[in-house]
Amino acid sequence: MKLRDKVALVTGAAQGIGKEVALLLANEGANLAIIDVNLDSANETVKEIEALGRKAIALKVDVRSSDEATSMVKDTVEALGSLDILVNNAGITRDKLLLRMSDEDWDMVMDVNLKGAFNCLRAAVKVMSKARSGNIINIASIVGLMGNAGQANYSASKAGLIGLTKTTAREFAARGIRCNAVAPGFIDTAMTQAMPDNAREALISQIPSKRLGTSEDVAKGVLFLASEDSSYITGQVLSINGGMYM
Ligand SMILES: NC(=O)c1ccc[n+]([C@@H]2O[C@H](COP(=O)([O-])OP(=O)(O)OC[C@H]3O[C@@H](n4cnc5c(N)ncnc54)[C@H](O)[C@@H]3O)[C@@H](O)[C@H]2O)c1
């Protein structure tokens, strides 16, 4: 086991990539705080983790609130004893071409995807700094690297998250805290299942590996960055995209 008795907190872990990450980290020995706005589904993730013999708690948190993020870290440390790994995964899309994008579409995506990650990260590094150890993984996106028509808000939030990752890595490396990002390509989850079939086919034709990624493909990258296998790696962006962007 690569993460025996570590405590990991994963945001947006009620479903999709976040849930898969939480289950893989638990399989490697970590105890988990499952964070989501959807408490019922977060509790389902907790049950699956407990069935693996690990401890887990579910907390209803909206990552847009810095107060809720602060309480989330406090509650996690009280319930599970420490906080070793933070995975900032909660994210949303509100896609529209730029000229049709409203202020609300812009603000909502920036607030969840970028401010939300900042809120959780700032709360977590206070605990990690005292422990002089910690590991943060931010879930960015291929479109934060290459842009995508219809996703001005989303691609800007994910590019911003990459900047936040690099700055955090520089500020906290000397205190034993690493910070990296993963940039998934198009992954088969609820977020991409909403696409029409023809758009999906067109997308797959652009991927050298000729398939969408799976949540498991992403979770394996997160596990690598969360474990000691990557102990000299910080401030990096790991692309998991089937070769779609190089
Ligand atoms: N699916 C993809 O193709 C893909 C590609 C690249 C990056 N990503 C990123 O991976 C992450 C997970 O994506 P997914 O496809 O699993 O999405 P998803 O919609 O299946 O899951 C996102 C989870 O985040 C939760 N969430 C949303 N807003 C929240 C908030 N304010 N506070 C707390 N929780 C909140 C949702 O309730 C949900 O459980 C996101 O950051 C997304 O941008 C996804």
**Nearest-angstrom CA–CA distance, 159 and 165:** 10
Confidence of residue 89 (pLDDT cuts 50, 70, 90): very high
pLDDT score recorded for residue 37: 99
Would you name the residues annotated as active-site residues? Answer: 154
**Domain total for the chain?**
1
Q: Is 1 within the bounds of a domain?
A: no
- Does residue 245 sit within a domain? no
User: Quick check: 75 pLDDT over 90?
Assistant: yes
pLDDT for res 185: 97
Any idea what the CATH number is for the domain that residue 205 is in? Answer: 3.40.50.720
Secondary structure class of 109 (helix, strand, coil):
helix
Cα of 36 to ligand 1 centre, how many Å? Answer: 10
- 46 within some domain: yes
Q: Is 68 left (phi over 0), alpha (psi -120 to 50) or beta?
A: alpha
pLDDT at 199 over 90: no
pLDDT for the residue 163:
99
Question: What is the mean pLDDT of the segment spanning 203-218?
Answer: 96
> Residue 198: what pLDDT?
87
pLDDT for the residue numbered 190: 85
Portion of the chain with pLDDT greater than 70, in percent: 100
Question: Beta-strand (E) ranges in the chain?
Answer: 7-11, 31-36, 56-60, 85-88, 134-139, 177-184, 237-240
Segments forming the whole domain that contains residue 129? 7-237
pLDDT digits (tens, 9 = 90+) for 183-196: 999 999 987 888 88
Q: Is residue 106 part of a domain?
A: yes
User: pLDDT per residue over 222-241, tens digit each?
Assistant: 999 999 999 999 999 999 99
CA-to-CA distance for 155 and 162, rounded, in angstroms?
A: 11
CA 7–ligand 1 middle distance (angstroms): 21
pLDDT digits (tens, 9 = 90+) for 136-178: 999 999 999 999 999 999 999 999 999 999 999 999 999 999 9
Task: Answer whether 219 contacts ligand 1 (Cβ < 6 A).
Answer: no
Give per-residue pLDDT as tens, 13-55: 999 999 999 999 999 999 999 999 999 999 999 999 999 999 9
Residue 246 lies in a domain: no
**Percentage of the residues of the chain whose pLDDT score is greater than 90:** 94
User: Is the pTM higher than 0.85?
Assistant: yes
Note whether residue 145 is domain-resident.
yes
Compute, in angstroms, the gap from residue 194 CA to the centroid of ligand 1: 14
Ligand 1, atom 2, lies closest to the CA of 187
